[in-house]
Structures are given as structure tokens and as C-alpha cells.
Amino acid sequence: MPADLRGRVEQYLSAAFLDKEIPSRLSDAMRYSLLAGGKRLRPVLCLAVARACAKDRVEEITEAVLPFAAGLEMIHTYSLIHDDLPAMDDDDLRRGCPTCHKAFDEATAILAGDALLTNAFSQMTRANVPVHALLEAVRLTADAAGAAGMVGGQMLDLQGEGKKLSLEELRILNEKKTGALLFNACECGAVLAQASPEERHAARCYGSELGIAFQITDDILDVVGDEATVGKEVRHDAESDKATWPSLVGLEKARELARRHCQAAEQALNGVFSGPDAEFLRETARKLVNRTH
């Protein structure tokens, strides 16, 4: 990985929410979930795209965008905490550890999620980039995480339980629930680095294809993975009677589709981005469809 982006994100996050003003039980719960591991995919994608766009000022842009990237991981972690609650997916295990409401209690987990979401936006405004670029990226992120994006996707997911969805309905649900935040991480990397329209378009195409490949792989892992490796409960989708890619098209076709979307993600970069960060983005797409957790 160029410049150990994941390590940089990890280090940044480990210094977050140590503020004495935060009630200690709340900061303990926030840090418990935030620092429980995770691939740090969204912040790393944001940083790698920004670096690929910034070319000769990669170190400068990495430092400048890091607070924004960390904010994206906070939003992601909030969504996982709330998704695991008894009123939602009701999970006991996340990132290989007891879920936030199991380690603490339900009310604390709700507040920890609320606080991570709210404070994420405070973090993001600390990015050291021109204010018009920052404003645009903040707006894009609020939209991607909100009612027309991830929260809306979660609503469709809950409504879809026990129903037979069409492939088109499943695609829309996935685009919102999982795809929006991944796609947004890539687009914001380009926006924050003040990319050319061509670079921004390539980043959007890459993010969109990656988002679908990611969700198909997640559905496959729920069928074929084991709890210890995946780090969360498996066979959950079938138990909740959820429409998934393997349930609609079969396991083999789902694998083939994931590979195809991964290739399309890689191709979206061709002719626009080159160098180690572009290669890292290609490798990330390949790793995502071959992942075991």
C-alpha cells in the first residue's frame, strides 16, 4: 500500500475522542467500535484517489485530506453500530468483537452512533483544502449518508425482508445502502484534490463498479464464509429472509458478476490515472472480490 494509508488512518483515529469534555462511557463506546479493526476501506479509497489526482503533491494532499477521510470512517462505524442494534439486524458480533450494544448497552450504543455521525462532520471540516472543495465534499457526504443514500438504503433493506425483490430492486437497495458511501469516498477524494472533470468521472465510475462488486462479495461471504474469519455472524441474510445476489442469481453467477464489476472498476482508471496510487486502487478492487472478511 503506498505510504501505508491504512496505518495513517489508524493512527489518526486512535487520537480521536480523548476529549475530557465527553462523558467517559460515551467516549469509551465510540472508541470501542471505532478502534475495533476494520479494513478502513472508505478513508483509504478517499486518500488514494486524492493522491492519484494530485500526482506531484501526494504527501501534501495525504496530510490535507486525512481529517476528512477519518470522518468517513466515523460515519461508517456509526452505521455499523446502528445496523447491529436489536431493532435493525440484531447482531452480536462485529469486527470479531461483541457489538457495541452487547459490550455496553442499547442506549449507549445509540448515542455512540449518533455522536460518531455528528462529530464526523466536525472532523471533515478540518481538512486543509480550499473551502469551496471542502464544502462540496461535505455536501456530497451528507447526501450519500442520508435519506436518499445509506439511511434510505437501510429503510429499503428492512422493508425488503421476507419479500421477493427483483434484481433491479436489489441493485437500487445496494447502491444506496452500501454503494453510496464507497462511491462517495472515491468522488470526494477527487473533489478535495481539485481534480479535472475527466479524473472525477473516472473516480466516480471506479467507485460505482467497486460498490456493486463489494456488496455482491459481502452477500457471497454470508453464504460461504465462517464467523471467525468474517468477524460477524454469517447465514444472517437467509435467516432474515433477505434478497441477496446469491439468492437471486445463484452462487456461481454472483461470483462471476463480482469479478466483472471488479474488472470494470479497474478499467475505469485506464488512460486517466497511472503510477503507484492508481495501481493500488486496481489492486484494492481485486482484493475486495477475493476477500475472506
For ligand GRG, the binding residue among 151, 248, 251, 264 (CB under 6 A) is 151
Q: Which is nearer to ligand GRG, 12 or 133 (by Cβ)?
A: 12
Binding piece for ligand GRG, criterion CB under 6 A, among 48-56, 80-88, 250-258, 275-283? 80-88
Contact yes or no for 213/262 (Cβ under 8 A)? yes
Q: How far is the CB of 28 from ligand GRG (least distance, A)?
A: 19
Q: How far is the CB of 265 from ligand GRG (least distance, A)?
A: 16
- List of residues 6+ apart from 105 with CB closer than 8 A: none
Binding piece for ligand GRG, criterion CB under 6 A, among 38-46, 163-171, 240-248, 263-271? 38-46
Q: How far is the CB of 135 from ligand GRG (least distance, A)?
A: 24
Q: How far is the CB of 173 from ligand GRG (least distance, A)?
A: 11
Q: Which is nearer to ligand GRG, 30 or 54 (by Cβ)?
A: 30
Residue 237 contacts ligand GRG per CB under 6 A: no
Residue 79 contacts ligand GRG per CB under 6 A: yes
Residue 178 contacts ligand GRG per CB under 6 A: yes
Q: Which is nearer to ligand GRG, 151 or 223 (by Cβ)?
A: 151
Neighbours of 141 (CB within 10 A): 26
Count of residues that bind ligand GRG according to CB under 6 A:
17
Comparing C-alpha atoms, which of 285, 282, 229, 223 is closest to residue 254?
A: 223
Residue 110 contacts ligand GRG per CB under 6 A: no
Q: Which is nearer to ligand GRG, 95 or 259 (by Cβ)?
A: 95
Residue 154 contacts ligand GRG per CB under 6 A: yes
Contact residues: ligand GRG, CB under 6 A: 38-39, 41, 76, 79-80, 82-83, 88, 95, 150-151, 154, 177-178, 215, 218
